[in-house]
């Protein structure tokens, strides 16, 4: 899926491109940096051991063209994964939604609203292509991230409970967006 970049503050342009297999180290480092930071703050979202365990899955997602890199002046700023296939946590709902996973902004760019700009860029792309909306999830007890998604206009769609972790589900449907 082609996603155009975005401009912030009227002058800083951020490019969004599909990550290639040669970007795997960068993608993983950005994710791990965020995982370590989350752990240092006591925020349960991406345990370092979990990310280490799913490294082969991350590499596979990159090889399938599902990971994206956000760059400023050809330097990495953030990464994220997009999926369009029905997912288990959504009971394999066949509705035509884009699923956002693993958005991670490099810590030196934190607080610049880059995450929100990425989500808005994904929404614009999904709307243009004809998707019904955008879905994402987070660890149920991560109140900070849940509140953030609500501020971005996402609606809580309940919880997916599993033996490993409980996930809060969020959806932004385009018919309900002004």
User: In this structure, what CATH number is given to the domain that contains residue 160?
Assistant: 3.40.630.30
pLDDT at 10 > cutoff 70: no
The tens digit of pLDDT for each residue in 90-109 reads 999 999 999 999 999 999 99
- Asked whether residue 1 is assigned to any structural domain, the reply reads no
- Asked whether residue 122 is assigned to any structural domain, the reply reads yes
Is the model's pTM score more than 0.85?
yes
pLDDT at 6 > cutoff 70: no
Longest distance between any two alpha carbons in the chain, whole Å: 47
- Asked whether residue 52 is assigned to any structural domain, the reply reads yes
Write down the H helix ranges in 41-159: 48-53, 55-63, 114-129, 143-151
The residue with tokens 């040669």 is 22
**Residues pairing with 80 in the sheet:** 68
Region 121-149: mean pLDDT is 94
- Asked whether residue 34 is assigned to any structural domain, the reply reads yes
Number of domains observed in the structure of the chain: 1
pLDDT at 118 > cutoff 50: yes
**Residues pairing with 15 in the sheet:** 71
- Asked whether residue 95 is assigned to any structural domain, the reply reads yes
- Asked whether residue 117 is assigned to any structural domain, the reply reads yes
> Domain limits at 22?
6-176
- Both tokens of 166, joined, read 């409980």
- Asked whether residue 71 is assigned to any structural domain, the reply reads yes
Q: In the chain, helix, strand, coil percent, each to 5?
A: 40, 30, 30
Rounded percentage of the chain residues whose pLDDT exceeds 90: 82
pLDDT at 2 > cutoff 90: no
Residue 142 — pLDDT band, cuts 50, 70, 90? Answer: very high
Quick one: which H or E segment has residue 18? strand 12-18
Q: How many of the other CB atoms lie within 10 Å of CB of 66?
A: 21
């Amino acid at each position: 899926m082609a996603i155009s970049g975005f401009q912030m503050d009227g002058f800083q342009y951020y490019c969004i491109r599909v990550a290639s297999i040669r970007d795997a180290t960068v993608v993983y480092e950005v994710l791990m940096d965020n995982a370590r930071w989350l752990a240092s703050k006591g925020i349960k979202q991406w345990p370092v051991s979990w990310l280490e365990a799913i490294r082969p899955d991350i590499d596979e997602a990159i090889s399938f063209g599902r990971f994206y890199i956000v760059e400023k002046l050809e330097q990495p700023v953030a990464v994220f994964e997009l999926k369009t296939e029905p997912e288990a946590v959504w009971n394999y709902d066949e509705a035509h939604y884009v699923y956002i996973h693993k958005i991670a902004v490099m810590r030196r760019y934190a607080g610049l609203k880059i995450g929100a700009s990425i989500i808005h860029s994904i929404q614009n792309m999904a709307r243009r292509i004809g998707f019904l909306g955008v879905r994402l999830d987070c660890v149920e007890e991560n109140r900070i991230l849940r509140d953030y998604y609500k501020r971005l206009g996402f609606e809580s769609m309940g919880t997916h409970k599993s033996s490993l972790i409980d996930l809060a589900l969020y959806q932004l449907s385009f018919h309900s967006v002004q």
